[in-house]
A and B are shown apart, each in its own frame.
Chain A
Amino acid sequence: MGRSFQWMMAGMLVVLATSAGADWEMNMTKGVTDISQTVYSLHMIIFGICVVIGVVVFGVMIYSMIAHRKSQGAVAANFHESTWVEVLWTLIPFAILVGMAIPATGALKQIYSKGDPDLTVEIVGYQWKWRYRYLSDDPSTEISFFSNLTTPPEEISNEAPKNTNYLLEVDEPMVLPVNKRVRFVITAADVIHAWWVPELAVKKDAVPGIINEAWTKVNVPGIYRGQCAELCGKDHGFMPIVVDVREQDEFDSWLVAKQDEAKKLAELTSKDWTMAELMERGEQVYGTFCSACHQADGSGVPPAFPPLKASPIALGEINKHIEVVVKGVNGTSMQAFGSQLSEVDMAAVITYERNAWGNNTGDLVSPMDIVNYNAEQ
Chain B
Amino acid sequence: MNEQQTQVSHLGVVWKSLAVAFGMLVFVFVGLVPLYNLICDWTGLTGRTAGKYEVTDTSIVEDRIIKVQFLANNNGDMPWVFKPLETSVEVHPGEAKTVYFHAKNNTSIEMVAQAVPSVSPFQITEYFHKTECFCFEQQPLQAGESVDMGLQFIVDQDIPEEVNLITLSYTLFDITQVAKAN
Contact = CB atoms under 8 A, between A and B. Distances in A.
Interface stretch (B8-16, B56-64, B80-88, B147-155): B80-88
Given A185-B71, A374-B106, A211 B118 contact: yes
Interface string A316-360: 000000010011101000011011000000000000000000000
A135 B69 CA distance: 8
B165 to A, nearest CB: 7
A374 B105 CA distance: 10
Contacts of B106: 326-327, 338, 374, 377
Contacts of A135: 69, 71, 87-88
Nearest to B67: A137
Contacts of B173: 209
A120 interface: yes
A122 B73 CA distance: 10
B71 A328 contact: no
B77 A377 contact: no
A208 interface: yes
Contacts of A116: 164-165
Given A327-B79, A338-B79, A339-B74, A139 B86 contact: yes
Contacts of A374: 106
B87 A142 contact: yes
Contact of B74 (A114, A189, A326): A189
A137 B87 contact: yes
Contact of B107 (A120, A142, A208, A377): A377
A336 B46 contact: no
Interface string A207-225: 1111111000000000000
A136 to B, nearest CB: 6
A336 B73 contact: no
B74 A210 contact: no
A187 B86 CA distance: 20
A139 B164 CA distance: 21
A377 B88 contact: no
Contacts of B105: 377
B9 to A, nearest CB: 33
Interface string B9-28: 00000000000000000000
B144 A377 contact: yes
Interface in A165-196: 185, 187, 189-190
B167 A185 contact: yes
Contact of A190 (B76, B88, B162, B165): B76
Q: Using C-beta atoms within 8 Å of the partner chain, give the interface range for chain A.
A: 35 or more
B39 interface: no
A335 B75 CA distance: 12
A165 to B, nearest CB: 29
B165 A210 contact: no
B37 to A, nearest CB: 14
Contacts of B167: 120, 185, 211, 213
B119 interface: yes
B140 interface: no
A211 B47 contact: yes
B116 interface: yes
Nearest to B106: A377
A189 B75 contact: yes
Interface in A103-153: 114, 116-117, 120, 122, 124, 133, 135-139, 142
Interface in B153-168: 162-165, 167
B159 to A, nearest CB: 13
Given A135-B69, A328-B79, A211 B74 contact: no
B169 A326 contact: no
B87 A136 contact: yes
A34 B103 CA distance: 42
Contact of A377 (B47, B73, B76, B108): B108
Given A209-B171, A335-B77, A377 B143 contact: yes
Contacts of A124: 73
A116 B166 CA distance: 11
Given A116-B164, A190-B75, A336-B77, 18 more contacts: A116-B165, A120-B69, A124-B73, A137-B88, A139-B86, A207-B46, A210-B46, A210-B118, A211-B167, A212-B120, A327-B79, A327-B107, A335-B77, A336-B79, A338-B106, A339-B78, A374-B106, A377-B105
Interface of B: 46-48, 69, 71, 73-81, 83-88, 105-108, 116, 118-122, 143-144, 162-165, 167, 169, 171, 173
Interface of A: 114, 116-117, 120, 122, 124, 133, 135-139, 142, 185, 187, 189-190, 207-213, 323, 326-328, 330, 335-336, 338-339, 374, 376-377
10 contacts: A120-B167, A124-B73, A136-B87, A187-B73, A189-B74, A208-B171, A212-B120, A330-B77, A339-B74, A339-B78
